Structure 1
Amino acid sequence: MGPQSTKPNGAPCTIHVEGEHRSVRARTGETLLLALARNGIFLRSDCGGKGVCRQCTVQDTDTGERMPACQVTVTEDLSVRIPSAARRALEVIRKPDLERAAKQLLRSRAGRVSPRERWGAAVDVGTTTLAVYLSDRVEGRVLASTSLRNPQFLFGDDVMARISAVDQNPAVLGEMQAMVLDAVAMALTSLAASVQLDPSNLCQITVVGNPTMIHIFWGVDPTPLGRHPYEPAFRDLRTDRASLLGWDSFAKTRVTTLPLLSGFLGADTVACALALDLLHSAEGTLLVDVGTNGELLLKAGTQLLGTSCATGPALEGAAIGHGMPAVSGAVRHVEMNPDATLRWEVIRRDDGPDPKPLGICGSGVLSAVAALYSSGIVQKDGRIDISKAPHRILLDHKGIPSVILVDGSHTALGTPILFTQKDVRAVQLAKAALRTGIDLLCRKAGIHAPSLIHLAGTFGSHLGPKDAITIGMLPPVGTEKVRAAGNAAGLGALLALVDPDSVEELDRLAASTRVVELASHPDFQETFVSSLAFP
């Protein structure tokens, strides 16, 4: 973009953003994508800054040239125009609130710390969302909490994209660590101010997250997690002073991350197991946390069997043609009427009117497939039958069908929301991966099916058990045996924060867990292939 500047690396440059009525400062040598983000202007970067998706494309208003911002190295002053389609929606996907039973459990485990160490915080570092809880450790109360988007999305929406970003440019690790530390510090400072608490009085911060997020949090290279044998650099519970992380506002605070079980089963999974008391649950109790990876823990005798499944991004609304995060405007549920018309529910802001549909999120994806399969439009093998409800079918130039979920007259953009044949295949791969993991863990435990299934996390809280069973993602155990666990990771982090004795429980949990590697299981391929079809 423009001629090369003679400004030395690191020297300040000015970027004028058309329509922003302001100019922002950038460092010579950094990407335009990162420079804009540091100044609160966020662009889409689904490919993690590789220049592949081109969704962060901006226009140089001086030359007219269009380039992905992630591929533009700032070497001079710039003036750019940012198309609305390139901007990232910053609405937060909120973590489920703690339920009454969870609050009672928290209070029952409190009172075991000195009043001098009363104040603390628990942090759930999710790939998409950060959840921060300010707590009274003596009384076991959450004083204030908030959710905010993990700013690392600039380097990709999933952990593999972020691992790849560090692999390509090791300096990115420091950028990603600073992003999450700054975001958490900002949230803690804001929460403390809301209850008139001096942030320097925080004595303990307990952090959970998947292995990649925990490695980045500590500034540890996560790239070994992206290649065989996928070994984490550390597994044990880790504690250090907040000052060593550059958190000057919390100079006297201890920071602890819970143990990791493997390269894919992290501190968030451990926290879920702690919150559900999984080690002391009935035989066959299964914990399922579904995201880009599906994490599973099954109670088997005196131990836990754990594994992870490469479910891919389809179940979070990504890799779907009209997929989107679970924010306002996303279709979250679809049902087929007897007359072959569809009805849908859309997520809306708590304080806003019902919006027109923009796309479809993960829970909507599953319910759409369940509705289309139950009505016969999608066949057992996943093919879309164009003879069923032909008025809802569109064919592309190659004759490949799509189903119209929402007519253009009802959508925010005036164009229909489609569910394509490719989308169905993506769901088949995702649900087969998860079901394969469940079935192989059950065989390892010597049981036919789980006795009880806990669905953890944001996706689990919105997932319809009937839909998941209908498409074969979960075994046919009956919907009464499938329960939403809410934000079990956040509750587990809070339990570890308020109860020092939980450290021993965490050690027992980690020692009692046997990780099962699915890819090396002799029945993996056969089980996976048989799980691709709908039941």
Structure 2
Amino acid sequence: MKEEQRMSREKVKVTFMPDDKSIYVGKGISILKASELAGITISSLCGGRGLCGKCKVQVSGVDKSPSAAELKLLSQDEIKMGVRLACSFPLEEDTVVVVPNESREKRVSILQEGLKLGEFHLQSDLSKVYMEVEQPTLYNQSSDLERLERALRERGFAPVELSGNLIRELPEKIRSSDYSLTAAIIGNKVISLEKGDTTQKAFGVAIDIGTTTLVGYLMDLNSGRQISVASKVNPQRVYGSDVMSRAAQVSERPELIETMQALVMSAINEIIDHLISDSGVKEDYIYKMTIVGNTCMQHLFLGVSPKYLALAPYSPVFSRAIRVSAKELGLHINPDGYVHLLPSLAGFVGADTMGMILSTLIHRSDKIKLAIDLGTNGEIVLGSKDGLTACSAAAGPAFEGEHIQCGMIAAPGAIDRVIIHDDVYIHTIGDAPSIGICGSGLIDAIAEMRKAGIIHERGRLICEDETKFVKRFKSGKDGNQFVISYGSEKNKTPPW
């Protein structure tokens, strides 16, 4: 411990190229940690645990034996060329680090649209009531609050509660609106008093907190119409691409709970700000927010440690629906509005699965149906109105490339579609040169290779037509390989 403290006080200079950015860091910290401090994002799907091999950098002029992780994940040729893993290389002297483009975090392609539901009636506990409050006179000196409660009672709302803040604002609000105003009520609590008739201005935000991406929707609570949509990459990704990596990070460094919560709150507020800017809707007219996400993401959203989700028997801190005030979380909606977290079903079957069940109505189906949520954390639900069975698996590490040699997230240059006919035809995101393959590309490639007779039904590489694709077969250290793209290819459209 004393040696670690001594080393942290000693500083070394690290220069990142081609950015030409230099910073001084504590001796002994990893290149990956130093890159975070320098504002340079190096891909690390495993959260810096030496498992994915995606954080490759080039270090020259430093003679240091490779770590066990580097010996496992790097070839001897790479090590001879100075290629190292940023997460496993401690900085013990002034060092120049070259971060290649393929090792940097890429802009992710985020799916924002899905099944079009159109407008529908929402069963919300929000009510907006327009009223004319009786004016005081010398013969009627009842209080402002009593006259407001009387007007609401005449419209079927009684009893009601007002916050201390609203009571303080009440006299000016009533008089500045010439005694004609609208009350926004959730349950029996008045959360807003507004000048004139604003009954048609009632909005909510739905946020899907994915392990990799965040998507937000601005909804009209009167009509059920979607007004606007916005998305961002989940900034917690720097602490690991999957829920187990993030839970492990929190277990090792409990102080990261606050950091991860702050990151996701900031990203959600940016999404809300974009929705407001795009639609022209005022922040004060957004009264409700609904949050879905897997169980770990729900915990981190509230700043609750997911430590025990990663340990048998994988018990969450909470699983029921939770309601929190927007003011408490510092979110950019009406401060007296509420944030609702849908219930989770199990440690690894979260509120996003509950959202899928409710939106597909699989729980009301006469026939047995299968619903699949294929995200970083993948869930499937099988059943009907007679009962449902759900389970989950870590889909992200496979489909986002953690343990796939050329795997990557859906970023520019990722192969996302494959067709095999007389040759191999690919489509890359952003029409960029291919640098890897993402989940949809992997599914395409496997299906097309199976149809073309390139792989056996049990997954072995074969070649039924020895001449057709012979140039794409090669030998690797782990066995036969089939080349989907030679690296410089962009979109290659079939001739038909």
Question: Given the alignment of the two structures, is residue 368 of structure 1 paired with residue 450 of structure 2, yes or no?
Answer: no
Change in Cα spacing, 1:409 to 1:163, as seen in structure 2 (3 Å) is closer
2:139 alignment counterpart: none
Alpha-carbon distance in 1 for matches of 2:269, 2:485: 41
Alpha-carbon distance in 2 for matches of 1:195, 1:30: 45
Alpha-carbon distance in 2 for matches of 1:194, 1:377: 48
Which of 127, 133, 138 pairs up with 1:114? 127
Moved more, 29-38 or 125-134: 29-38
2:355 alignment counterpart: 271
Alpha-carbon distance in 1 for matches of 2:331, 2:92: 31
Alpha-carbon distance in 1 for matches of 2:98, 2:334: 38
Question: Given the alignment of the two structures, is residue 342 of structure 1 paired with residue 424 of structure 2, yes or no?
Answer: yes
Which of 90, 94, 102 pairs up with 2:110? 94
Alpha-carbon distance in 2 for matches of 1:59, 1:318: 20
1:493 alignment counterpart: none
- 1:292: how far off? 4.6
Q: Given that residues 110 and 140 in structure 1 are in contact (C-alpha distance below 8 angstroms), is that contact kept between their aligned partners in structure 2?
A: no
- 1:234: how far off? 1.0
- 1:323: how far off? 1.6
- 1:83: how far off? 1.3
1:396 alignment counterpart: 475
Alpha-carbon distance in 2 for matches of 1:90, 1:279: 38
Question: Given the alignment of the two structures, is residue 129 of structure 1 paired with residue 213 of structure 2, yes or no?
Answer: yes
Residue aligned with 1:104, SS = coil
Change in Cα spacing, 1:29 to 1:273, as seen in structure 2 (3 Å) is farther
Question: Given the alignment of the two structures, is residue 406 of structure 1 paired with residue 482 of structure 2, yes or no?
Answer: no
Aligned amino acid, residue 406 of structure 1: S
Moved more, 237-246 or 51-60: 51-60
Moved more, 130-139 or 158-167: 130-139
**Alignment root-mean-square deviation, CA:** 3.8
Alpha-carbon distance in 2 for matches of 1:33, 1:272: 37
- 1:25: how far off? 9.9
1:222 alignment counterpart: 306
Q: 1:426-437 maps to which residues of 2 (within 5 A)?
A: none
- 1:259: how far off? 0.3
- 1:290: how far off? 2.2
Alpha-carbon distance in 1 for matches of 2:264, 2:86: 21
1:46 alignment counterpart: 45
Change in Cα spacing, 1:30 to 1:356, as seen in structure 2 (3 Å) is closer
Alpha-carbon distance in 2 for matches of 1:217, 1:15: 34
Q: Given that residues 5 and 75 in structure 1 are in contact (C-alpha distance below 8 angstroms), is that contact kept between their aligned partners in structure 2?
A: no
- 1:365: how far off? 0.9
Change in Cα spacing, 1:281 to 1:72, as seen in structure 2 (3 Å) is same
2:190 alignment counterpart: none
Question: Given the alignment of the two structures, is residue 260 of structure 1 paired with residue 344 of structure 2, yes or no?
Answer: yes
Q: 1:197-216 maps to which residues of 2 (within 5 A)?
A: 197-216=281-300
Aligned amino acid, residue 102 of structure 1: L
Q: 1:48-67 maps to which residues of 2 (within 5 A)?
A: 48-53=47-52, 55-56=54-55
Change in Cα spacing, 1:158 to 1:248, as seen in structure 2 (3 Å) is same
Identity %, equivalent residues: 31
Q: Given that residues 134 and 145 in structure 1 are in contact (C-alpha distance below 8 angstroms), is that contact kept between their aligned partners in structure 2?
A: yes
Question: Which string of whole-angstrom CA distances, capped at 9 and with x for unpartnered residues, describes residues 186-212 of structure 1?
Answer: 221233233344435532221100111
Q: Given that residues 44 and 87 in structure 1 are in contact (C-alpha distance below 8 angstroms), is that contact kept between their aligned partners in structure 2?
A: yes
More helix by share: 1
- 1:140: how far off? 2.4
* Larger Rg, first or second structure (1 or 2): 2
Which of 354, 357, 361 pairs up with 2:434? 357
Q: Given that residues 326 and 338 in structure 2 are in contact (C-alpha distance below 8 angstroms), is that contact kept between their aligned partners in structure 1?
A: yes
Alpha-carbon distance in 2 for matches of 1:63, 1:311: 38
Alpha-carbon distance in 2 for matches of 1:103, 1:374: 38
- 1:235: how far off? 1.1
The count of residues paired between Structure 1 and Structure 2 equals 396
Aligned amino acid, residue 378 of structure 1: I
Change in Cα spacing, 1:134 to 1:175, as seen in structure 2 (3 Å) is same
Q: Given that residues 219 and 227 in structure 2 are in contact (C-alpha distance below 8 angstroms), is that contact kept between their aligned partners in structure 1?
A: yes
Which of structures 1 and 2 has the larger relative contact order (alpha carbons within 8 angstroms, sep 6+)?
Answer: 1
Change in Cα spacing, 1:194 to 1:366, as seen in structure 2 (3 Å) is closer
Q: Given that residues 163 and 226 in structure 1 are in contact (C-alpha distance below 8 angstroms), is that contact kept between their aligned partners in structure 2?
A: yes
Query: Which runs of no fewer than 5 residues in structure 2 stay unpaired?
Result: 65-81, 129-182, 185-201, 492-496
Query: Which runs of no fewer than 5 residues in structure 1 stay unpaired?
Result: 349-353, 413-535
